């Protein structure tokens, strides 16, 4: 399958091993991770391991990942993670959207543009029936993306995770294939 996606301003393409330097630069930025599940990378080996696991997850239908590229450089990653195809006799075809964009490039609509294209690709090409997404209640930038993409809130989860000693609520959304 061809995973390359072209949008008005962006190229979205799967990560490759040669992205290690640019992704290390971006993923070592401590401004990015306030609400994310990971900590800033402190050595390039960590980034290489992450790239390898992203590539493997795609090969095993466990997750799909796209480097978000402007004309000049990689600026973030948008993913469809935690793929669930079945539970025993049930068909699920469900995945979760996640995204981050380097602080230098935030506020320009890139996450919205890339996420919209990835959601469309997921429904059209990857046979997903439902895409879910969650954001920390205080993460208003992420909330705005969920709303603009037409996701519907279905749950408010109290104390969903603890990061740096603080408990955060999560708001959960879903979008079903039309």
Mask for 145-164, x = binds ligand COA (CB under 6 A): x-------------------
Site string (94-133) toward ligand COA, x via CB under 6 A: -----xxx----xxxxxxx---------------------
Distance in Å, CB of 64 to ligand COA, minimum: 17
Of 162, 161, 131, the C-alpha closest to 146 is 131
Decide: 69 and 13 in contact? Cβ < 8 Å: yes
Nearest to 124 by CA among 170, 59, 80: 80
| Interface map 5-44 toward ligand COA (x if CB under 6 A) | ---------------------------x--xx--------
2-41: b or e for each residue (b if 16 or more CB lie within 10 Å)? eeebeeeebbbbebeeebbebbbebbbeeebbebeeeeeb
Binding of ligand COA by 142 (CB under 6 A):
yes
Number of residues that bind ligand COA (CB under 6 A): 19
Least distance (Å) from ligand COA to the CB of residue 129?
22
């Amino acid at each position: 399958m061809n995973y390359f996606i072209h949008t008005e301003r962006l190229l979205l393409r799967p990560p490759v091993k040669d992205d290690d330097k640019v992704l290390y630069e971006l993923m070592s930025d401590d401004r990015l991770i306030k609400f994310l599940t990971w900590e800033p990378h402190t050595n390039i080996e960590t980034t290489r391991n992450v790239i390898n696991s992203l590539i493997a997850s795609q090969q095993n239908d466990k997750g799909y990942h796209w480097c978000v590229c402007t004309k000049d450089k990689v600026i973030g990653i948008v993913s469809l993670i935690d793929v669930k195809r079945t539970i025993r006799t049930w068909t699920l075809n469900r995945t979760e959207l996640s995204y981050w964009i380097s602080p230098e490039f935030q506020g320009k609509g890139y996450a919205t543009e890339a996420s919209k294209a990835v959601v469309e690709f997921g429904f059209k090409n990857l046979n997903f029936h439902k895409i879910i997404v969650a954001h920390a209640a205080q993460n208003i930038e992420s909330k705005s993306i969920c709303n603009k993409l037409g996701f519907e809130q279905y749950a408010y989860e109290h104390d969903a995770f603890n990061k740096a000693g603080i408990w955060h609520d999560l708001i959960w959304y879903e979008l079903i294939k039309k």
